[in-house]
Structure 1
Amino acid sequence: MSKASKSWAGAFLAAAVVGSLTATVIPAQAGTRAASAAHPPKAAPVVVASGLHNPRGVTVQPDGSVLVAEAGSGPATPCTASPGAITRCLGFTGSLYRVKGSRQSRVVTGLPSQLIYRTDGSSLVTGALRSEAGRNGAYRVVYGLSGLPADRAALGAGSGPLGTLSTARGKVLGDLAGHEARHDPDSVTGNNEVFSNPADFARDGRDFLVTDAGANDLIRVHPDGTTTTEFVFPNNVLPAASPAVQPLTPAGQAQAVPTGIVRGRDGAFYISDMSALRQGLGRVWRYVPGSTPTVFATGLTDVIDLALAPDGDLIALSYNTGTSTAPLPGALTRINKRTGALTPIDTGNRLTVPLGVAVGPRGDIYVTNNALGTSGELLKFPAR
């Protein structure tokens, strides 16, 4: 996607704002399996943590602790926007927030955090988007960028992890933005832009698989730091008479915008896409390494993240369920592990700007909510 004109996909994944997009209400795709009746409501959500700084992905660790990636708030003193131009500035306010039992704190601080002013005067923050604990107290983090390596370099010292999968100490494990700049894999779909905004990652043996929402691809990161294109997500087809989404995308099509990735009980990877923020166009892909990915579920809206339930079903988190003028609330949907059938989960309309989801071993669902700004929260929907 172009550096000059800010991509809506990059902007959304960086700040989860819909802006001036026009989302068209459409029926579920013809191939969509009918959704069953609403899943019984869970108990009222519990606010586990509050005052989080642009919280993004949430991960339940093997020891039962919950780890939240905080994108931060950019620099301590915000930079000055230049009217009509994209302005970027760097701070080190990102962090990793850990909850274990009654104890909670920021276990890592000082991570790079980018504040971006867009040409329309609005702003967004990107930085740490997903994290996991490694051995010996180490952490791995995937960082957003909303740009290319040249944009990152212009930010100055300390910006190196943006657009990469790195350790929290700053070692780059794989440069996703660099991969996009070198290869632009989704050009084969007719998307005439070069743009990177990594979203999520999962381990595959000694490798990692990373979704790049801006580049519309799945990238494999090898132990030596090299990267290869695993899969390019095809554009989705818009309903007839839909307004254009992007000028640099083929007419009648919408970029995939892959987001969450999780490994299922069957060993396959399941990956969500947003398909232009159109109601009912979102898809979940099933991918067995070495084979061709297939669409596993359709009929979703704005799926920003996926998690695995203890019984093997998928839990999808939708950033919103409405139109651009009335986008709220967010939603949780259970996806049957065998059929792909969708079952809404009653959240009591509690979700407002949710960006990350994880499920604990007992079925508790954790969601980062109010995820724009420094008053974010971590909610827990207890299992019945």
Structure 2
Amino acid sequence: MILSALAHGTPGAAAPDVTVLYTGLSNPRGLAFDDDGVLYVTEAGRGADGAPDPVCLPRPQGIGCLGATGALARLDRDGSLTRVLTGLPSLAGPDGTEAIGPNDIAFHRHGRSTLLTVGLSEAPANRDTLPEVGQEMGRLLRVRPDVATGRPYTARLQSERFADIAGWEAAHNPDGGELDSNAQSVAYGPGGTAVVDAGANSLLFVTHGGQVSTLAVFGERQMPAPPSMNLPAGTMLPMQSVPMSVAYRDGAYYVAELTGRPFTQGSARIFKVVPGQQPTVYAEGLTTVVDIAFAPNGDLYALEFTHTSMFGPSRGVGALMRIKRGGGAPEMILENVDHPGGIAIRGRNAFITTGSVHPTNGAVIKLRLPA
């Protein structure tokens, strides 16, 4: 794991205080704390994991094989890890890399409900061709508490379908483009939850009763072709938004972009979405953002999957950036982060998943945030 760093974006500054907390995770993605301060992490799994005669299909990352290796893990303070929810779908390469599966988890601040997103990254109709475990993909699941205790973080948990994110894309196609759905981040807000559909380029709202509506759509832009593509000078290419993360604060949702090809460095933005209004740009100058989180003081932290280029050796060499409260230019807090997947903040500490495309060596690190 690579963890060299710059503090406050100033070359030569002291390295931040970074600790590796947990290792051995399978394609780890989003993290969240429950109301008792216990940390959970979603694992997109290892696909079929060597099962005989798996169901395999083509996907943008290459052939994907389906299995039931996705999970939700509880990370206890004594250093132990317990997979409290298992058997979730996972579509990964034959070697278990770059899985599509559980992406994010959100706990209601009063402990009333726990919601988990499962990705798809396919046309919604393709889900119908998958075996039973694949029918959970492209959905927002509700995690039921342990029957014996009624608590959401004890023993083994179960899940149930709560909202069909891919089904909304199939029926409404908010961005008017190719039918594609990939439920990513989830965040509680007034009256329900917001869910980012990266495939549909949209921010959706799901009521406490499971009813879905569209909050915002993020359109594509024309961007200059990078020199590495060897296209004629002046060639412009359409670049999709690919929203990946959502956070709620003070009456607004904040949505961060991964962007699509050509993944131009510095082209990713963070939008502020007030329900009933058009999205406005809150921050820009970022690259391939996979997750965001607010610190208690109102600073916004953006986790970049790649800080420079999605092509070549720089792919997956990510960074943690800070946008100070009220907006402004991003500044680097931590560089050379190995394939980051998600971030959660509690107090002065950030918790980050690394190795997010690896089947067995994903990890969670803790970073002391600057003042």
- Residues 72 and 86 in structure 2, CA contact (< 8 A), matched pair in contact too: no
Q: Which structure ranks higher in relative contact order (CA pairs < 8 Å, sequence separation ≥ 6)?
A: 1
Residue 114 of structure 1 aligns to which amino acid in structure 2? S
Match of 1:97 in 2: 73
- Which has more strand, going by share of residues? 2
- Residues 42 and 381 in structure 1, CA contact (< 8 A), matched pair in contact too: no
Cα distance in 2 for partners of 1:339, 1:255 equals 23
Match of 1:368 in 2: 353
- Residues 16 and 367 in structure 2, CA contact (< 8 A), matched pair in contact too: yes
Cα distance in 2 for partners of 1:315, 1:262 equals 11
- Residues 95 and 107 in structure 1, CA contact (< 8 A), matched pair in contact too: yes
Residue 314 of structure 1 aligns to which amino acid in structure 2? L
Match of 1:45 in 2: 18
Q: What secondary structure sits across from 2:80 in the alignment?
A: strand
Q: TM-score, normalised by structure 2?
A: 0.81
Q: What secondary structure sits across from 1:113 in the alignment?
A: strand
Cα distance in 2 for partners of 1:76, 1:36 equals 41
Moved more, 80-89 or 318-327: 80-89
Residue 318 of structure 1 aligns to which amino acid in structure 2? E
Q: CA deviation at 1:81?
A: 8.2
Residue 332 of structure 1 aligns to which amino acid in structure 2? L
Q: What secondary structure sits across from 1:337 in the alignment?
A: coil
1:336 lines up with 2:324 in the alignment: yes
Cα distance in 1 for partners of 2:42, 2:55 equals 29
Residue of structure 1 aligned with 2:245, choices 257, 260, 263: 260
Segments of 5+ residues of structure 2 without an aligned counterpart are 1-7, 144-157, 230-234
Distance 1:83-1:270 versus aligned 2 partners, 3 A rule:
closer
Cα distance in 2 for partners of 1:108, 1:84 equals 29
Residue of structure 2 aligned with 1:141, choices 116, 125, 146: 116
RMSD across aligned C-alpha pairs, in angstroms?
3.0
Distance 1:252-1:242 versus aligned 2 partners, 3 A rule:
farther
Alignment of 1:261-340 (within 5 A): 261-264=246-249, 266-276=250-260, 277-323=263-309, 324-327=311-314, 328-340=316-328
Q: What secondary structure sits across from 1:354 in the alignment?
A: coil
For this pair of structures, how many residues does the alignment match? 336
Q: TM-score, normalised by structure 1?
A: 0.79
Q: CA deviation at 1:89?
A: 4.2
Q: CA deviation at 1:60?
A: 2.8
Cα distance in 1 for partners of 2:222, 2:324 equals 24
Cα distance in 1 for partners of 2:91, 2:166 equals 18
Q: What secondary structure sits across from 1:261 in the alignment?
A: strand
Cα distance in 2 for partners of 1:139, 1:275 equals 28
Moved more, 39-48 or 366-375: 39-48
Distance 1:65-1:156 versus aligned 2 partners, 3 A rule:
same
| 1:46-78 residue CA offsets vs partner (Å, 9 max, x unmatched) | 111010111001113332221110111123434
Distance 1:61-1:284 versus aligned 2 partners, 3 A rule:
same
Segments of 5+ residues of structure 1 without an aligned counterpart are 1-34, 245-249
